[in-house]
Amino acid sequence: MLKTLMGEVKEYKRDSILSPIFVIMEVIMEIIIPILMASIIDNGVEKSNISHVWTMGALMVAIAMISMFCGVMSGKYAARASSGFAKNLRKAMYENIQTFSFANIDKYSTPGLVTRLTTDVTNVQNAYQMIIRMCARSPFMLIFAMTMTFVVNRKLAMIFLVATIFLAIVLALIIAHTFPVFSMVFKKYDALNASVQENVSAIRVVKAYVREDYEVNKFHTASNNLYKLFVQAEKLLTLNMPVMQFTVYSCILLLSWLGAKMIVAGSLQTGELVSLFAYVMNVLVSLMMMSMAFVMIAMSKASADRIAEVINEKASLVNGENPVYEVPDGSILFDHVNFAYQKDSENKVLNEINCEIKAGETIGIIGGTGSAKTSFVQLIPRLYDVTGGCVKVGGIDVREYDIETLRDQVAMVLQNNVLFSGTINDNMRWGKKDATQEEIIRACRLSQADEFVQTLPDKYETYIEQGGTNVSGGQKQRLCIARALIKKPKILILDDSTSAVDTRTDSLIRQAFATEIPDTTKLIIAQRITSVQDADRIIVMNDGMIDAIGTHEELLTDNMIYRDVYESQVKGAAENE
């Protein structure tokens, strides 16, 4: 974990080194000041040597100014280093997430990834700043101050040593008990974010079903669980300050009592006692700062683990050693294909799939809910890898292709159509970055989207809200189909992508496909028989297997599943009429 995170410091190594260097210089200056102060008292005030007072006073001011400058520079470099480190962590996670396959994405919840990119990175950023400042300052301050106390008076220095050991033990116990609690806190953050995200993204459904109170209570429960854990952790952390203050005041009392006796006995000078009072504050404050730093590090340890987990996650789908960069044609072959979402799972989603599709064919796919229609087509662009057998496109195993090349030639319109915030033109150019306006209009005409786009005030410059909330479901589907067509793919997969359009528009889309892109292999998953009955062949899926393949007429005669679906839809349509 540490190696992974430190690898993201990168260009901020210089700032990360300069910050502790200036901190050490600041500490040295602060350690010198009590010695000068003792000299002023013992050699200046008590001996009425005013020139010595002025000389040492001027030197103290100069050293204080140097200390202040070092402190400012240390803060400046620490801020740059920690902010840059956080930026690199977010970038590394986000870039790696983009390489994830669907199988990788399935491992993480969306709220969990958001928490890692925001809250977790902020915690690590704060901890990193503490490390390069506080964790550099406190140990050196402790070492230098303890050394000076032994130089001044060894007997009194034992007070500091005992106090240091006592505080170190208390601090270790506090950290040991708080770390498990903070580990649980970030899991609760995921639950809280999930509640918020789900509610906001589905706010229309929430309001339609008048479930606002239910959602408020769900959020309150998640928030209250987080509150309880923080209270539990903070109760333990609050012990730190009382113990610290008890130790500080005990040291001051012992120094005052023993120091006064030693001054009377003549074995200690007044200035030396004053310097010891300064050093006791330096030692104990440095311990307090170390405790704060360790608490912050303990809090961020869970965050650091979660960040490293995402950065170290390896995509389950990668290119082979010598990937193929050209797809010959749109032919597809399923050869004894088995598939399960979990590789070690015995529950296969697809079982012994054998099917050959010629380039340019139009294939309809129909079947009941849960018959694995979507899983079947997701193997073609290699969104998942088969667990047995192989899928070939253009006569080549999809695992041998460069992934980007393959997916550029296999356009897929998913069940859940997504439009991004931006103009219609911007959304269309997701399919092809340099698409001309003529290409965009042609694709929209093929998908029957141009008709409604031309009625919009700004036409193709009309702004689409995030998720396409300002267009209807049917309009969204047609725009998504157009976006896929702009790629000019060799294979086009429509996964129930015309369910929200009327039968006339559905028919026009299929006619346009047949006449305008005859060489493109088209796979159409549909619930309506009318959407697939004109296909060259129709695949009937049932319980993860191919039940039958044939034309509309052949299946009506020979396949019970297809005939039952057809009759139920024809009967339903007749009753509606």
The pLDDT of residue 571: 58
The pLDDT of residue 572: 52
Residues 61, 70: Cα–Cα separation, whole Å:
14
- Backbone angle region of 352, left / alpha / beta, with phi > 0 → left and psi within -120 to 50 → alpha: left
- Strand-pair partners of 237: none
Residue 257 pLDDT greater than 60, yes or no: yes
The model carries a pTM of 0.69
Which DSSP state fits 401? B
Q: What number is the average pLDDT over the span 233-244? A: 76
Residues 536, 552: Cα–Cα separation, whole Å:
9
Residue 18 pLDDT greater than 80, yes or no: yes
Helix (H) or strand (E) segment spanning residue 393: strand 388-393
Q: How many CB atoms lie within 10 A of CB 238?
A: 11
Q: Which of 374, 460, 477 is nearest to 418 (CA)?
A: 477
Q: What whole-number percentage of the chain has pLDDT above 70?
A: 96
* Structural contact between residues 129 and 78, judged by C-beta atoms closer than 8 angstroms: yes
Residue 535 pLDDT greater than 50, yes or no: yes
Residues 372, 401: Cα–Cα separation, whole Å:
24
Opening angle at CA 453, ends 449 and 459, nearest 5 = 145
pLDDT in tens, 204-225: 777 777 888 888 888 888 788 8
CATH architecture of 332-415+491-576: 3-Layer(aba) Sandwich (3.40)
The pLDDT of residue 333: 92
Which DSSP state fits 440? H
* Structural contact between residues 188 and 229, judged by C-beta atoms closer than 8 angstroms: yes
**Buried residues in 252-277 as b, exposed as e (16+ CB within 10 A):** bebbeebbeebeeeeebbebbbbbbb
Residues whose CB falls within 8 Å of the CB of residue 425, separated by 6 or more in sequence, listed in order:
437, 440, 460, 461
Residues 535, 362: Cα–Cα separation, whole Å:
5
Which DSSP state fits 555? H
Q: How confident is the model at residue 183 (pLDDT cuts 50, 70, 90)?
A: low
The pLDDT of residue 186: 66
Structure tokens at 141: 């301050």
- Strand-pair partners of 350: 339
Residue 576 pLDDT greater than 50, yes or no: no
Q: Which CATH number fits domain 2-312: 3.90.45.10, 2.60.40.2550, 1.10.540.10, 1.20.1560.10?
A: 1.20.1560.10
> Which whole-number Å values give the CA distances from 389 to 218, 295, 298, in the listed order?
45, 53, 48
Q: How confident is the model at residue 115 (pLDDT cuts 50, 70, 90)?
A: confident
Structure tokens at 140: 């050196």
Q: What is the DSSP string of 166-231?
A: HHHHHHHHHHHHHHHHHHHHHHHHHHHHHHHHHHHHTHHHHHHTT-HHHHHHHHHHHHHHHHHHHH
Q: Which of 464, 347, 452 is nearest to 417 (CA)?
A: 464
Residue 573 pLDDT greater than 80, yes or no: no
* Structural contact between residues 173 and 295, judged by C-beta atoms closer than 8 angstroms: no
- Strand-pair partners of 537: 363
pLDDT in tens, 490-503: 898 888 777 767 77
**How far does CA 30 lie from the centroid of its chain?**
42
Domains of the chain, by residue range, sit at 2-312, 332-415+491-576
Residue 577 pLDDT greater than 50, yes or no: no
